[in-house]
Amino acid sequence: MNEYIKQISERIRELRDILDMDADDVARAIGVTKDEYFAYETGAKEIPISLLYKVAELFKVDPTVLMTGDVPRMDDYTVVRGGNGVKVERYPGYSFSALAFNYKHRQMDPMIVTLSKSETAELVKHGGQEFNYVIEGTIKVVVGEREFTLNAGDSIYFNPEKPHGQRAVTENAKFLTIING
């Protein structure tokens, strides 16, 4: 198991215990089965970022707490130097670097996503709005029933409540995503 995934799972379990919440209630609140939630909490299965945000909202903590074990500290600004964002490897070939993790009460989450070539895009749904800007390579973005091919310099803004996902068409691709939740 990826050590980072294990740490997130441990934080979720610890916070649920501290908040004296039943696993059934948490599973129901985030819209998954108890077995699926248990797989996330034990680290047997990686929790999707959209569910991580739902858990954070339910626990009334910033998602940074679940991702890093630390609370955001900055009120007026935060600077993240190149390569120093909080890195998350969701699964082989898909990783992102959170760029505003240290800013309190943020309303947007900008991230640099790095993809390796893939034939399929894992579809997810979450609230808010989402913007993707391709930095390098070519990606396919699925939004609902539509699929868009985007090259470096192209962007898309969409409703992420529709099932959506991104995959690299070229060997490697990188894009900026900004999610407003």
Max CA separation in the chain (angstroms):
48
CA-CA distance, 22 to 3, in Å (whole number)? 25
CA-CA distance, 44 to 105, in Å (whole number)? 31
Supply the pTM of this predicted model: 0.83
Residue by residue, pLDDT tens for the chain (181 residues) are 577 788 999 999 999 999 999 999 999 999 999 999 999 999 888 887 778 889 999 999 998 999 888 899 999 999 999 989 988 777 778 889 999 999 999 999 999 999 999 999 888 888 889 999 999 999 999 999 999 999 999 999 999 999 999 999 999 999 999 998 7
Strands in 53-180 per DSSP E: 86-91, 94-98, 108-116, 129-136, 138-143, 146-151, 155-158, 164-168, 172-180
CA-CA distance, 52 to 153, in Å (whole number)? 29
Fold of 86-180: Jelly Rolls (2.60.120)
User: What architecture does CATH give domain 3-68?
Assistant: Orthogonal Bundle (1.10)
Instruction: In the chain, list all ranges with CATH 1.10.260.40.
Output: 3-68
**With contact defined as beta carbons under 8 Å apart, do 129 and 160 qualify?**
yes
Instruction: In the chain, list all ranges with CATH 2.60.120.10.
Output: 86-180
